[in-house]
Amino acid sequence: MEQDNKLATFLNGELTGPELAALKRDPDYALYEKIKHYSSLLEVPDNTDDEVSLATVLASKDPGRLRRRPYRSGGWAVAASIAVIALIGVLLFRSGNRVFETAAAEQMDVSLPDGSEVTLNRLSRLEYNRWLWLFRRKLRLEGEAYFRVDRGGIFVVNTSVGSVGVLGTQFNVKVADGVLETSCYEGKVQVNQGGKQEVVVAGRSVAIKDGRWEHNRIFLRQPVWTQRRLDFRSAPLADVLTELGRVYDVLITAQQAPAKGTFTGSVPADDLDVALDIIGKAFSMQHTGDNGTYQLISK
Amino acid sequence: METCVLDERSVCKEAVFARFFREQVKTLRHFLYYRFGDMERASDVAQEAFAALWQHCDKVPYERAKPYLYSVAYRKMLKVKAHEKVMLTYSKNGNHETESFESPQFLLEEKQFKERLLRAIANLSDAQRQAFLMHRVDKLKYAEIAAVLGISVKAVEKRIHLAMLALKKTLTEFK
């Protein structure tokens, strides 16, 4: 029997002296050695990020699950009544599920049971259970949302990449293509991913991509995308154009700008043409240009 | 006292689970890959198996976690019909010495041998390839392979032995 699997024992390096000597007389011995040597150099092309996978697994558990205990004294009646109670429980639990989804050109304001507010950006999904909410402020996000959280117990946003926890603050969470980006506008938030935790303070943001943490500063008071309109109060033309340029990420210049005059009013933050039209009318100017560079010219 | 010890190692504890995950995930993924040849799929199924363990952690004692994991993964993988050829590469580190000292002829022969060996391994039977690669690539002991495959150590040795014979037969021109 031993003799039968001698090549396995050879590969293992556990052949005894005489056994090895016998094998060395085999005309195929050199080839066996070659196979043994080169097969030990083999590798699997494997780029899977285990930490991201672990975070996904840890986040996969349904938070509503209660730990089950084995029920010892049996009986059908007991089992049946437990089943009925469980069914009612499940139905009741599911009736508490709240889901909000936005389409491609849609934003949505959501009020949570504790008075906290969420603005959901386009193509996003927010889910929570109002019964569980009584015990723990916990919700699930796909896409992007801006949170204004009232003070209270811990508030947790779960995503496919990691989770973000806070205590009364304003922050933005964006999860797309496996990247989790958290920006804090007020207070502090804690970001958790793959066993690593970090506190992000106001004015900072952190993006997690493939387990790498990138830190950035933020200068706005709230995410640009939540401001569908821009308000100005007695603003000179130069200030208006700077602000518009920042929001739309374009360059806007003025020729022969009027020395005097200010603008008070609001313009859309999602339609540059209309915005320039309104500003132009206010200062008696015309606008031209496209592809990121615009000009205002006096009529 | 004993219950304390068991509790310490409950897979429901995030730290215990994470450690177990990091120890096992790569070997599990490769185990699936050797048999089915689709890394993306292997990676997904390995993750699903861990999710199942995490979901049912209160029912699986620590000692049973590994067999549980492998049987769940294996059953999930069986549902996948498609079967691709297993692709492997050679470690870069292992070649340094030969590259600088050996003749061009030797290097050419070596290159040919390595390519043929890859093809020969891809053409092994699924069971033989799996056992062979778990030993050669992941450096598992025969007893460990036996444990995750749910077969005896003797059976593993048999598979490896037959794999060696099959490889020898296809590579006989390199003798």
Residues A169 and A233 in one domain: no
Which domain range does residue B138 map to? 93-174
Please write the tens of the pLDDT for every residue from B103-150: 777 778 888 888 899 989 988 888 899 999 999 999 999 999 998 888
Q: Which residues of B touch A68 (CB under 8 A)?
A: 58-59
Please write the tens of the pLDDT for every residue from B61-84: 888 888 889 988 888 877 765 566
- Domain membership of residue B87 (yes or no) is no
Q: Which residue has the higher pLDDT, A222 or A23?
A: A23
Strands A155-158 and A137-148: parallel
Residues A142 and A209 in one domain: yes
- Domain membership of residue B118 (yes or no) is yes
Residues B44 and B99 in one domain: no
Contact B25 A50 (CB under 8 A): yes
- CATH number of the domain that B69 lies in? 1.10.1740
Give me chain B's average pLDDT, please: 82
Residues B11 and B36 in one domain: yes
Contact A44 B30 (CB under 8 A): yes
Q: Which residues of A touch B47 (CB under 8 A)?
A: 53, 56-57
Q: What is the 3-state secondary structure (H, E, C) of A22-71?
A: HHHCCCCHHHHHHHHHHHCCEECCCCCCHHHHHHHHHHCCCCCCCCCCCC
The total of structural domains in chain A comes to 3
Residues A105 and A161 in one domain: yes
Instruction: Single out the residue of A216, A149, A156 nearest to residue A181, CA to CA.
Output: A216
Residues B24 and B65 in one domain: yes
Neighbours of B5 (CB within 10 A): 8
Residues B97 and B170 in one domain: yes
Residues B50 and B107 in one domain: no
Question: Is A66 in CB contact (< 8 Å) with chain B?
Answer: no
- Which range is least confidently modeled, A149-158, B18-27, B83-92? B83-92
Residues A167 and A253 in one domain: no
> In the structure, what pLDDT confidence band is assigned to residue A3 with cuts at 50, 70 and 90?
low
pLDDT over 90, % of chain A: 4
> In the structure, what pLDDT confidence band is assigned to residue A168 with cuts at 50, 70 and 90?
low
Neighbours of A207 (CB within 10 A): 16
Question: Is A70 in CB contact (< 8 Å) with chain B?
Answer: no
Residues A255 and A200 in one domain: no
Contact between A292 and A250 (Cβ < 8 Å): yes
Task: Report which secondary-structure segment, H or E, holds A122.
Answer: none
- Which of these three, A172, A190, A217, is where a domain ends? A217
Residues A205 and A265 in one domain: no
Residue B92 pLDDT exceeds 70? no
Contacts of B162 (CB under 8 A, 6+ apart): B128
Instruction: Single out the residue of B2, B149, B75, A296 nearest to residue B157, CA to CA.
Output: B149
A195: region left, alpha or beta (phi > 0 left; psi from -120 to 50 alpha): left
The total of structural domains in chain B comes to 2
The dihedral formed by the CA atoms of A71, A73, A78 and A79, expressed in degrees to the nearest 10: 50
- Domain membership of residue A132 (yes or no) is yes
- In this prediction, residue A1 carries a pLDDT of 42
- Domain membership of residue A171 (yes or no) is yes
- Domain membership of residue A88 (yes or no) is no
Q: Which residues of B touch A211 (CB under 8 A)?
A: none
Residues B53 and B17 in one domain: yes
Residues B170 and B138 in one domain: yes
> In the structure, what pLDDT confidence band is assigned to residue B1 with cuts at 50, 70 and 90?
very low
The amino acid at B36: F
- In this prediction, residue B50 carries a pLDDT of 93
Give me chain A's average pLDDT, please: 82
Which domain range does residue A206 map to? 94-217
